[in-house]
A and B are shown apart, each in its own frame.
Chain A
């Protein structure tokens, strides 16, 4: 019963939502809206478990004096400040939460994202080393695309590099992308069917 009931519920929910995709009638639209609300409610309950996990994790780090344990104070402090800014009325009225979000969290996130430029350079350096025939083809394709995308390449080759770059991007690149996309689409449908029919039960643990 412990396994059969979740499989049965999964099948019913999946079947109704699959039918809903093909039925534009208001009744089914409402079913979809209600199921989304349920999903949000479950998400709200689970966030408490997440916070408990986060707090216990960092308290444990501080207690055990793990490596760089001092940063755990910043994490816990950040959690308390953000919760207070969002829930404590005087801070809420002054827009403290929005200010912290815009002036602290967003710049920090942007800093992390900007690191990507350097990581792309280091990864490209390794990937483009001509160690094999395939790696050499990759290197050549990369050189053509890079030269085709800058004004200098256009000036030097009188339009040859941009033409080759466009052909590489629009023909072999799109063909490979579409092949992967078709595979992904079929794989997703297959996985969904496995879950729906109860063949795939890894999400229930122990199967």
Chain B
């Protein structure tokens, strides 16, 4: 009520008041047009300000809305109220409450919040994305032209055939867990690639492949990938849709179910490829106790040490994504791997430059690479 009362007084005096101080009001940059940045300075003659009341109106002055009560020491405010309409002009008024109860009015020029068509704070990301895309296209072009592209051996992927052979000799199934994330996750997409390769081999060797899934969408894709691999191998008759199944979308019930499966079926080989979290070690240790050979791969940094400790082979981070290119030996895919290497060289050069310049007291590199999200 008190705020409303003050507002009424302000409206009454608006016509005759003269404003020696103004509020700087600017449309907030890099947003969708629903935010205004306000800042102000108090005259030196003014002291003892206990707080402010911020009001908002339109040039037509039909309504005067109270936006916020602001503490006396604050000199800026971002109005991102839901009532702000993109493209509408607003005027802000500020009442400064002093110890004696008097109010001083400050006013802004009209400001119109507008949505921007480009986020200037993300320019560094855009530049690097364009440079990286250019490198990818360049290396693909070179690969198409027949240039030999070397990819270093990746132990975990080389061991896939050995693992499948082991399962065949032992007459036990192979377990493939494609992580516990959605199909939209890049690590899950990488898991589909390796699953296709594993499924083709198991079809050729007539070894049972079991794929439990945490999400139904992932299950559907896995079923299609396995089915297609069995058809490619010329053994569509041996494909069993019930071996690629949905368990639950809860993390630990899923872990319990897969653990139970491992202890009952005693698979000869376990693949854990995709996105994993706290369940990684529970799965890998259970697999170890069940006597399975284990190949894991994840891009989840905190889980890599667990897999390294408990599994025979671990694909660390980008090795998981490199699997499809490594397995297919497709020049187009290998070209993208080479582009990654080139990008790493660029990053290392920038890092070294930054270290040297920062050591000499110049922070130009960190300022140039600043990202303002």
Q: Do they bind each other?
A: yes
A interface vs B, CB < 8 Å?
A: 21-27, 29, 39, 42-43, 46-51, 53-54, 56-57, 60, 67-68, 71, 105, 108-110, 112-113, 115-116, 119-120, 122-124, 126-127, 177, 180-184, 186-195, 199-200, 202-206
| Given A105-B250, A193-B336, residue A49 in contact with residue B281 (CB < 8 A) | no
Indicate if B340 sits at the interface (CB-CB under 8 A): yes
B317 & A119 in contact (Cβ 8 Å cutoff): no
Question: In terms of DSSP, what is the predominant structure of the interface of chain A?
Answer: helix
A182 & B344 in contact (Cβ 8 Å cutoff): yes
Complex Cα distance, B309 from A56, in Å, reads 37
Indicate if B332 sits at the interface (CB-CB under 8 A): yes
Contacting residue for A26 out of B30, B115, B278, B308, CB 8 A: B115
Complex Cα distance, B220 from A48, in Å, reads 11
A102 to chain B, nearest CB (A): 14
Q: Which residue of A lies closest to B333 (CB)?
A: A199
Question: In terms of DSSP, what is the predominant structure of the interface of chain B?
Answer: helix
A24 & B246 in contact (Cβ 8 Å cutoff): no
| Given A43-B217, A116-B281, residue A187 in contact with residue B321 (CB < 8 A) | yes
B220 & A49 in contact (Cβ 8 Å cutoff): yes
Q: Which residue of B lies closest to A200 (CB)?
A: B324
The 6 closest A-B pairs by CB, nearest first: A50-B216, A187-B318, A206-B228, A187-B321, A50-B246, A205-B224
Q: Which residue of A lies closest to B122 (CB)?
A: A22
| Given A24-B115, A54-B245, A191-B186, residue A116 in contact with residue B282 (CB < 8 A) | yes
Q: Contacts of A54 on B, CB cut-off 8 Å?
A: 245-248
Q: Contacts of A204 on B, CB cut-off 8 Å?
A: 224
B216 & A108 in contact (Cβ 8 Å cutoff): no
Could you jot down 27 A-B contacts, CB within 8 Å?
Answer: A22-B126, A24-B32, A43-B217, A46-B217, A47-B216, A57-B245, A119-B282, A123-B285, A123-B309, A126-B310, A127-B308, A127-B310, A180-B316, A184-B301, A186-B343, A188-B186, A189-B129, A189-B132, A190-B336, A190-B340, A193-B132, A193-B336, A195-B189, A199-B330, A200-B333, A205-B228, A206-B228
List which B218-269 residues lie within 8 A (CB) of chain A.
Answer: 219-221, 224-225, 227-229, 231-232, 242, 245-253, 255-256, 260, 264
Q: Which residue of A lies closest to B114 (CB)?
A: A25
Indicate if B79 sits at the interface (CB-CB under 8 A): no
Q: Contacts of B33 on A, CB cut-off 8 Å?
A: 25-26
| Given A22-B122, A188-B186, A203-B221, residue A113 in contact with residue B196 (CB < 8 A) | no
B310 to chain A, nearest CB (A): 5
Q: Contacts of B225 on A, CB cut-off 8 Å?
A: 202-203, 205
B32 & A105 in contact (Cβ 8 Å cutoff): no
A26 & B220 in contact (Cβ 8 Å cutoff): no
